[in-house]
Structure 1
Amino acid sequence: MARSLVDLLTMHATHQPDRTAYRYLATGDCDGEIQEISYARLAVRSRAVAAWLQERGLAGSRAMLLYPPGLEFVCGYLGCLAAGVVAVPGVPPQGRSHNHRALTRMKRLIADADAKVILGGREVIAALGETAEHLPELDEITCVVTEDIPDEAAASWREPDLADDSVAFLQYTSGSTSAPRGVVVTHGNLTDNERIIAARMGHTPDVIAAHDGEMFVSWLPVYHDMGLIGPVLNTVYLGVTATLFSPLHFLQRPDRWLTAISRYRPHTSGGPNFAYELALKHATPELLDGLDLGSWKVAFNGAEPVRAATLRRFAETFAPAGFRREALYPCYGLAEATLLVTGGTVGAPPVLHGGNGHGNGEVDRGGNAEGHGGRNEDVAAVGCGRPADGVTLVIADPELRRERPEGEVGEIWVQGASVARGYWRNALATREHFRATLPGHEGRFLRTGDLGFLRDGELFVTGRLKDLMVVDGRNHYPQDLELSAETAHPALRPGCTAAFCVDSGVEGEQPVLVAELAPDAVGEAEQVTDLIRAAIGEAHGLSVHDVVLVDPGTIPKTSSGKIQRHASRAAYLDGALRVVGAAVGG
C-alpha cells in the first residue's frame, strides 16, 4: 500500500513510465513551446534532487523552493519529499517593482523556517547572488540550481523512511509585514486530502479512462495550496496528466485558460471567482466560436467568496461552447486543512440559498431562490458543498465554543486526517487554532476563523471572523495595508487607519482605506488620497476601491486602542463617517 506520494510516483514510473505526467505551455499558448515530462523522467529527476540532498545530510531539514513557473518546481518539490526534506515553497522575485517585497518576505521565511538550502531555477539563483548584500542570511545557506544536478545522481537515491506523521512541507500563509506562519503539513495530511479531492471531484478510474488520463488544466500558482495540492499533486496521486502554464500568462490573456481546456479536454480546472470574471471579460464571439468545453466536468471555484451572479453569467456565456451549468463546482478549503474541506456534487448545479444573500428563503438546487424571480438569484448565497468521508464539520459559537443549530451562522470548525499538525514553531497559535474541543464531540478541531452555516448538509460561507482580506485570489492582512497607507504622508495619524473589503459588484471584494487626517492638512486631502493609492499599489499590487479621509477620533477603536475594522466597515457602508476628503475609483 502506498504510504506517500513518493511511493505513488515510484508505482506510476514502474507501471506507466511513458505516460506524460505534466506538460507545460511555456508561452501560455497551445501552439507555442510545450515542455513535457513523463512519469519515468519525473522519477529520475526527483530522485536526483533527493540524492543530492541526502548526500549532504539534509534529511529532516528545510529547503526553500524558489522557482519560476514550470516543471522544475515539481521536480524540486517531489525531490524534497523523496529525500525526507521539508519543502518550503516560496515566491521568487518577480520584476523590479516586486524585488523589495519579495526579498523582505524571503528573509522572514528563511529565518522562520531555518532553511538550510535553497533550491531554484538558474535565473532565480543568479538573482539571489546579485542581491546577496541585502540577504546576509544566504552566507550560511547553500543555493543550488536543480537543473544542474545530473541524472546519474538518481542512482544513489535511498528510499526515505516516511510515516504518516513525517512532515512533508510548510505552507506559509502570512502577509508581507506580518509574522510568518507556516502550516505544518504531513505526508498523512497530503495523502488524505488527495483522497478527498479525488472522491469529491469524481476522479474515479472510469472517469480517468474516459478522459484518457487528461484530468487537469491549471494556471494557478504552484507555491499556493490551491495550485499545488489540487492540480499538481492530485496528478501524481492519480497517475494522470496535467497541463500547466504561468499565472502571468493567464492574467495577460485569460482566454488562454479556456483555449487550453478546449485543446486538451481535461475533466477538472478552476480558480478563484475573479478568474471566471476575467474569462467573461474576454469572451469575444470569435473566442466562443473556436471553443469546445464539453469535456469540462468540474469547474471548481474557491479561495474567495463565490458569487451567484458570476456562476450564472459564466454558464450562460459559455453554453454555446458546450459548457454545462452542472460543471460549476463551488468549494471551500484552507491551508490549515491541507486544502479541500467541502465540495459540490459532480454533475449537479450549484446550490443556492435565498434571494437576498442573508440566508432567507429555501435552498434551491435548480438555480433560482424560492420566492424570487428573474435575476434575484444573483444575490443568493452559494453553497460550497459537503464534507468528504472522514471529515467532520460543525458550526460553533466562537465565544461559547458550543455547536450551533442548523441554519445559524457561526465559526466553521473542522476535524479529520487532512487537518495539519499546526503552525511551525508557534505553539501559542497552534493551541488557539488547532486544539479546540467541543461538547458532544471527541477529539480536537481546527478553528478556521471563517463564518458560515449548514443547511441540509450544505456549507454556506458567509464571512470571516478573522480580518484576512482576499482580493483577486490573494491573501492580504489589513495591518499591512494600514501600515503602507500611514507612511504615505506625515499628516496621516499612526494607528488611526482601517483597511477592509467591500463587495464592489462584478469586481468582487475590493479594498477600502479609511484614514484619520490631521486638521491642518485638510487642504491636502486630494494629494494625500493619491499618495495612499500609490503606496498600496506599489507595496501590495492592489488597486484601492475607495480612500476615505476622516476627522481625528472618527475610526472606531476598542477600549485598549485597537482598530475595530468591522465597525469601521459598517460605518463606511452606512455613510456614517465624518468625511473630510474622499475619492472613488476602480
Structure 2
Amino acid sequence: MARSLVDLLTKHASHQPDRTAYRYLVTGDRDGEIQDISYGRLAERSRAVASWLQERGLAGSRAMLLYPPGLEFICGYLGCLSAGVVAVPGVPPQGRSQNHRALTRMKRLIADADAKVILGGREVIAALGTMAEHLPELAEITCVATEDIPDAAAGSWREPDLTADSVAFLQYTSGSTSAPRGVMVTHGNLLDNERVITERMGHTPDTIAEYDHELFVSWLPVYHDMGLIGPVLNTVYLGATATLFSPLHFLQQPQRWLTALSHYRPHTSGGPNFAYELCLKQATPDLLDGLDLSRWKVAFNGAEPVRAATLRRFTETFGTAGFRREALYPCYGLAEATLMVTGGSVAAPPTLIEAPETGPHAGAADAAAVGSGRPGPGVTLVIADPERQQELPDGEVGEIWVLGASVAKGYWRNTLATRESFRATLKNREGRFLRTGDLGFLRDGELFVTGRLKDLIVIDGRNHYPQDLELSAEMSHPALRPGCTATFSVDGGVEGEQPVIVAEAAPEAADEFEKITDRIRSAIGEAHGLSVRDVVLVHPGTIPKTSSGKIQRRASRTAYLDGTLSVVGAAATR
C-alpha cells in the first residue's frame, strides 16, 4: 500500500515509464510549442532534485518554490516530497506592477516558513540575485535553479522515511479574511484527498482507460490548492495524463481553454465561476463552430460563489458545441481540508433551489441557490452553531464544520489559530472538527454555501449575506460584471451600520453611471429593505480577490476607507 505520492510515482515510473505524465502548452495554444514529460523522466528529475536536497542535509526543512508556469515546478515539488523536505509553493515576482506586492508576500512567506532553500527556474533565480537590496533574507538562503541539477544526481537518491503524519508541504492560504497562514498538509492528507477527488469525480480505472488516460486540462495556478491538488497531483496519483498551460495565457485569451478541451478531450477540467464567464464573452459563432466539448464529463466550478445564471448561460451557449448540462459540477473545498470536501454527482445536473416568491430575488431563476454536492467518502460535514456547539438541522444556516483524514494538521507555527480552527467540538458527537469560517446549509445531504461567517453584515439586528446584496446589484444592470462586486458595511454615524456597494463597470459605460448607481440603490432597497450608504463603480479587474478568485471584502473595505479604489464613477456619499 502506498505511503505517499512518492511511492505512486515510483510505481508509475516502473510500470509505464514512457507514458506522458504532463504536457505543457508553452504559448497556451495547442498548435504552439509543447513540452512534455514521461513518468520515467519525471521520476528521474524528481529524484535528482531530492538527492541534491538530501546531500545538503535539508530533510525536514522548508524549501520555497518560485517557478514560472511550466513543468519544472512539478519536478521541484515532487523532488521535495521525495527528499522528505517540506515544499512551500510561492509566487515569483512578475512584472513591475506586481513586484512590490509579490516581494512583500514572498518576504512574509520566507520568514514565516523559515525557508532554508529556494528552488526555482533559471530566470527567477537570476532575478533573485539582483534583489539583495529588497530581500536581505536571501543572504542566508541557498538558491538553486533546478534545471541545473544534473540527471546523474538521481543515482544517489535515498528513499525518505515518510509516515502519514509527515508534513508534505505548506499551503499558504490566500488571505481572504486575514494574513496568509501556512496550512500543514501531511502525506496522509494528500493521499486521502486524492482518494476523495477520485471517487467524487468518477476517475475510475475504466473511465481512465476509456479516455486513454487523458484526465485533465488545466490553466489553474499550481501554487494554489485547486490547481495543485486537483489537476497536478490527482494525475500522478492515478498515473494519468494532464495538459497544462499558464493562467496568464488563459486570461489573455480564454478561448484557449476551450480549444485545448476540444483537442485533447479530457474527462475533467474546471475553475472558478469567473472563468466560465470569461469564456462566455469569447463565444463567437466561429469559435463555437470549431469546438467539440462532448467528451467533457466533469466541468468543476468552485473557489468562489457558483452563479446559477452562469451555469444556465454556459449550457445554453456551448450546448451547440456538444457541452452537456450534466457536466456542470459545482464543488466546495478549502486548503485546510487539503482541497475537496464536497462535489456533485457525475452525469447529474447541478441541484438548484429556486428563489422564493417573496423576499430578495423573488422568483428570479438566475438567483437560485446552487448545491455544491455531497461530502466525499470518509468526510463528515455538519452545519453547526459555533456558539452553542450544536449541530443544526437540515435547512438551517450555520458554520460548515468538517471532520476526516483530509483535514490538515493545523497552521504552521500558530498554535492559537490551530486550536481555534482545527479543534472544534460538538455536543453529542465525537471528534475534533475543522471550523471552515464558511456559512451554509444542508438539504437532503447536499451542501449549499451561503457566505463567509466574518463577512456577515448585521444591520438593525438583521443578518444580511453580502453575496445576496452583490447578486441583487449585479442583476440590476447589464454593464456590471458578474462575480465582481464587493459589499461591506461602514459606520454611518447616527444612522448606524450601512452597506457600501463596490462594483466593476466598463469605462465605456460612462454615460450610464448615474443610472447604474440609481438602479443598484433601488435593487438593494426593494430586495433587502436597506438604504445604501455609497455606490462606487471601479475599473474592471481592480476589486481585490484572493488567488482563487474569492472577493476580498475586507480589503475592499480598507481600500474604500483609504480612498485607494480605482474609481470610474461614484455616487455622492450620503
| TM-score by shorter chain over 0.5 | yes
Query: Which residue does the alignment assign to 1:298?
Result: 298
Alignment CA distance shift 1:142-1:315 (3 Å): same
**Aligned equivalent of 1:77:** 77
**CA distance in structure 1 between the aligned counterparts of 2:269 and 2:358, rounded to whole angstroms:** 29
1:430 corresponds to 2:418: yes
* Shift, 1:173, TM fit: 1.0
CA distance in 1, matches of 2:294, 2:447: 28
Shift of 1:399: 1.5
Match of 1:449 among 434, 437, 455: 437
Per-residue CA distance 1:481-516 (angstroms, 9 max, x = gap): xxxxxxxxxxxxxxxxx9998333452142358778
> Residues 375-414 of structure 1: matches in 2 within 5 Å?
376-414=364-402
Check if 1:195 corresponds to 2:183.
no
- Cα deviation per residue 1:546-584 (whole Å; 9 max; x = unaligned)? 99xxxxxxxxxxxxxxxxxxxxx99997663556x9656
SS in 1 for 2:2: coil
Instruction: State the 1:357 CA deviation.
Output: 10
Answer yes or no: is the 8 Å Cα contact 2:359–2:528 preserved in 1: no
The secondary structure found in structure 1 opposite 2:482 is coil
1:68-467 alignment to 2 at 5 Å? 68-175=68-175, 179-356=179-356, 376-467=364-455
The whole-number CA distance in structure 2 between the counterparts of 1:230 and 1:584 is 33
Q: Aligned equivalents of 2:164 and 2:359: distance in 1?
A: 40
Provide Cα deviations, 1:336-376, integer angstroms capped at 9, x if missing partner: 0000000000000000113249999xxxxxxxx9x96xxx3
Q: 2:531 maps to which residue?
A: 576
Name the CA shift for 1:195/1:583 in 2 (closer, same or farther; >3 Å): closer
Q: Is the 8 A contact 1:184 1:420 kept in 2?
A: yes
Cα distance, 1:3 vs. partner?
A: 0.8
Distance 1:507 1:388, change over 3 A: same
Selected match of 1:508 from 483, 491, 497: 483
Task: Indicate the SS of the match to 2:139.
Answer: helix
How far 1:185 moved relative to its partner?
Answer: 0.1
| C-alpha distance in structure 2 between counterparts of 1:500 and 1:128, whole Å | 44
Distance in 1 between the 2:359 and 2:212 partners? 42
User: Quick one: structure 1 residues 75 and 384, their matched pair in 2 at CA, closer, same or farther if it must change by over 3 Å?
Assistant: same
Q: How far apart in 2 are the matches of 1:223 and 1:162?
A: 23
Shift of the alpha carbon at 1:398?
Answer: 2.1
Instruction: For 1:515 and 1:454, locate their aligned partners in 2 and report how far apart those are by CA, in whole Å.
Output: 31
Return the letter of the residue paired with 2:173.
T
TM-score (norm 2): 0.82
SS at 1:508 equivalent: strand
Structure 2 counterpart of 1:441, one-letter code: R
- Tell me the equivalent position of 2:18: 18
State the alpha-carbon separation in 1 of the partners of residues 134 and 538 from structure 2. 38
SS in 2 for 1:115: coil
Q: Distance in 1 between matches of 2:319 and 2:467?
A: 39
- Classify 1:578/1:342 alpha carbon distance in 2 versus 1 (closer, same or farther; 3 Å): closer
* C-alpha RMSD of matched pairs (Å): 3.0
- When structure 1 is superposed on structure 2, of 167-176 and 147-156 the one drifting more is 167-176
Change in Cα spacing, 1:188 to 1:223, as seen in structure 2 (3 Å) is same
Q: 1:188 to 1:115 in 2, by over 3 A?
A: same
| Residue aligning to 2:543 | none
Secondary structure class of the residue paired with 1:3 = coil
Native 8 Å contact 2:88 2:171 kept in 1? yes
* 1:508 aligned partner, one-letter code: G
Kept in 2: contact 1:353–1:359 (CA 8 A): no
Are the counterparts in 2 of residues 188 and 418 from structure 1 also a CA contact under 8 Å? yes
Q: Does the Cα contact within 8 Å between 2:21 and 2:37 map onto a contact in 1?
A: yes
Alpha-carbon displacement from aligned partner over 1:8-66 (angstroms, at most 9, x marks no partner): 00000000000000000000000000000000000000000000000000000000000
Distance (whole Å) between structure 2 residues aligned to residue 168 and residue 433 of structure 1: 20
Contact 1:357 1:379 in 2 (8 A): no
Q: Gapped runs of 5+ residues in structure 2?
A: 458-465, 476-480, 494-499, 505-512, 515-523, 541-574
1:153-187 deviation per Cα after TM superposition (whole angstroms, max 9, x unaligned): 00000000110000000000154995431000000
1:223 is displaced (CA, Å) by 0.2
Give the Cα–Cα distance (whole angstroms) in 1 for the partners of residues 181 and 203 of structure 2: 32
- For residues 205 and 359 of structure 2, the distance between their equivalents in structure 1, rounded to whole angstroms, comes to 38
Q: Deviations over 1:94-150 (max 9, x none)?
A: 100100111111111000000000000011111111111100000000000000000
- 1:472 corresponds in structure 2 to none
Q: CA, structure 1 residues 359+273, in 2 after alignment: closer, same or farther (shift >3 Å)? A: farther
Deviations 1:189-226 (A, max 9, x none): 00000000000000000000000000000000000000
* 2:562 alignment partner in structure 1: none
Residue 377 of structure 1 and its aligned partner are, at CA, apart by 2.6
Say whether 1:34 aligns with 2:34: yes
SS, match of residue 216 in structure 2: strand
Match of 2:258, SS state, is helix
Q: Letter of the 1:502 partner, please give it.
A: E
Q: Is contact 2:216–2:266 with CA below 8 Å preserved after alignment?
A: yes
Whole-angstrom CA distance in 2 between matches of 1:570 and 1:140: 57
Work out the number of aligned pairs and report it.
501
Q: Show structure 1 runs of 5+ residues with no match.
A: 361-368, 470-497, 519-528, 535-545, 548-568
Name the CA distance, whole Å, in 1 between partners of 2:410 and 2:215. 31
Report if the CA contact (8 A) 1:357-1:380 is conserved. no
Q: 2:177, 2:352 → 1: CA distance? A: 38
1:439 offset after TM fit, Å? Answer: 1.3
SS at match of 1:330: strand
Q: How does 1:466-485 map to 2 (within 5 A)?
A: 466-467=454-455
Contact 1:358 1:381 in 2 (8 A): no
Question: Contact 1:500–1:513 at 8 Å: present in 2 too?
Answer: no
SS in 1 for 2:202: coil
Q: TM-score scaled by structure 1?
A: 0.81
Residue pair 2:407, 2:434 contacting (<8 A) in 1 also: yes
The alpha-carbon distance between structure 1 residues 162 and 585, as it changes in their structure 2 partners (threshold 3 A), is closer
Would the aligned equivalents of 2:299 and 2:327 in 1 still touch at CA under 8 Å? yes
Measure, in 2, the Cα distance between the counterparts of 1:81 and 1:104: 27
Taking structure 1 as reference, are residues 153 and 91 closer, same or farther at Cα in structure 2, changes over 3 Å only? same
2: CA distance between counterparts of 1:359 and 1:389?
A: 37
